[in-house]
Structure 1
Amino acid sequence: MFTKPQDIVVALKLSLSNSISSYAELGKSLGMSASEVHAAVRRLQEARLLDPETKQVRFEALRNFLVHGVPYAFPVSPKAVTRGMPTAWAAPAMSDKISAADQMPPVWPDPDGKVQGAAVQPLYPSVPGAARRDPELYRLLALADALRIGRARERAIAEKELGLHLNRHAHA
């Protein structure tokens, strides 16, 4: 079974708490149905990114997949100009580390967004709403997008930041 883009969203959310309270609660926080979350957890277990017994994130495996798999499995190219929510290097997670004045900021199309930029398809349609509700998840999703669309420098910064997050939570 192949991993789907929403599985990455679920894995990143689980990396923040490393436990599943209920599929319904997790789904509500992510803007997904309980059955979508359950299926994502099953695929993550099959991909060996979650422990099947404890349902806890395997942090090193997740880091490796984010860095080496996600850019190829879920590539995206910024498209038309739209209003939305900043992602990748334009998001708060990286905006203080990257100066990208020569290009339009990447954004997730979002009617509530306040930034004009190049449209980037999020990993799942509910990502902007989930990111608004959870700033830490927003940070991780933006870093994952930097891996998906960034140049070498942006990808290196995102890899380092994701590694720090995953190491911190693995040893918490």
Structure 2
Amino acid sequence: MMKSQDVVVLLKLASLEDGEQEIGQQPARHGVATGEDPYSVRGLEAALGISKTEVSASIKRSLGSGLAIKDRKFGRPKPNRRQLREFIVHGLKFVFPAKPGPMQRGVPTAFAAPVLRESLHSAGSLISVWAYARGQEMGQSIEPLFKTVPEAAEKDERLYAYLALTDAIRIGNQREASVAANLLTERLG
């Protein structure tokens, strides 16, 4: 049975892959100690704030569901980008729906996040945020896919973009979700 943190782990793996492509096959170390393999369970724990046990279980569930595959060259898990994209675009909002909560200070997500801010202009004045004590914006709180998402997003800009697009799909109307899905498709390839 899939858990919401599985999506967070898969998006982090996609972010790591994207970083390698950008800087020429060197793993990006967002939130990971020097010398630590960012793809290892320990590296993912440091970057995401999800326990090693949960990261390991998450990877097993993702491999079992086909949302992750083993990299032939390195033997490490990597997201099955096409399957992950299909799941996020067509199934995520039904499996892990986002329910708007009270006004809180936090990190902008969905249409208020930098990745979408210029693409869509909302008629409403309320923005969506992940509640976070160090957040700078006031808005309507949205429960993140996992409680440590604000901290993980703070460490990794690409992961932040993936998670904000995912939230836009979870909470947006058809037009807004479509814009977010198109941007996610571009990024996930």
Is TM-score (shorter-chain normalized) higher than 0.5?
yes
Query: Cα distance, 1:32 vs. partner?
Result: 1.1
Q: State the distance in 2 between where 1:79 and 1:24 align.
A: 33
Give the counterpart letter for 1:17 in structure 2. Answer: L
Task: Give, in whole Å, the separation in 2 of the partners of 1:47 and 1:106.
Answer: 30
Alignment match, 1:68: 90
CA deviation digits over 1:41-75, x for unaligned, max 9? Answer: 00101110111464221111010001111111000
1:152 lines up with 2:168 in the alignment? no
Other-structure match for 1:127: 149
Residue equivalent to 2:21:
none
Structure 1 segment 46-85 matched on structure 2, within 5 A: 46-52=64-70, 54=75, 55-85=77-107
TM-score by length of 2: 0.84
SS of equivalent to 2:79: coil
Question: Residue 131 of structure 2 aligns with which residue?
Answer: 109
TM norm structure 1: 0.92
1:38 Cα deviation (Å)? Answer: 0.5
Partner of 2:57: 39
What is the CA–CA distance in structure 2 between the aligned matches of 1:148 and 1:119, rounded to whole Å? 14
Cα-Cα RMSD: 1.4
- Counterparts of 1:128 and 1:107 in 2: how far apart (Å)? 9
CA-to-partner distance for each residue in 1:91-148, whole Å, 9 max, x for gaps? 0010011111424000000111111100100000000000000011000000000011
Q: CA deviation at 1:78?
A: 1.1
What is the identity, as a one-letter code, of the residue corresponding to 1:148? R
Corresponding letter in the other structure for 2:12: K
Structure 1 residue corresponding to 2:162, chosen from 136, 140, 151: 140
Segments of 4+ in structure 1 off by > 6 A?
none
Q: What letter corresponds to residue 87 of structure 1 in structure 2?
A: T
Q: Distance in 2 between matches of 1:17 and 1:105?
A: 28
2:122 maps to a residue whose letter is A
Matched residue, 1:15: 14
Fraction of identical pairs, as percent: 37
* CA distances 1:4-36 after superposition (whole Å, capped 9, x unpaired): 000000000111224863101111100111111
Conserved 8 A contact 2:108-2:128: yes
Following the alignment from structure 1 to structure 2, what is the Cα–Cα distance between the partners of residues 57 and 21?
A: 12
- Report SS of the residue matched to 1:84: strand
- The answer to which structure has the higher strand fraction is 2
- 1:92 matched to 2:106? The reply is no
- Segments of 5+ residues of structure 1 without an aligned counterpart are 168-172
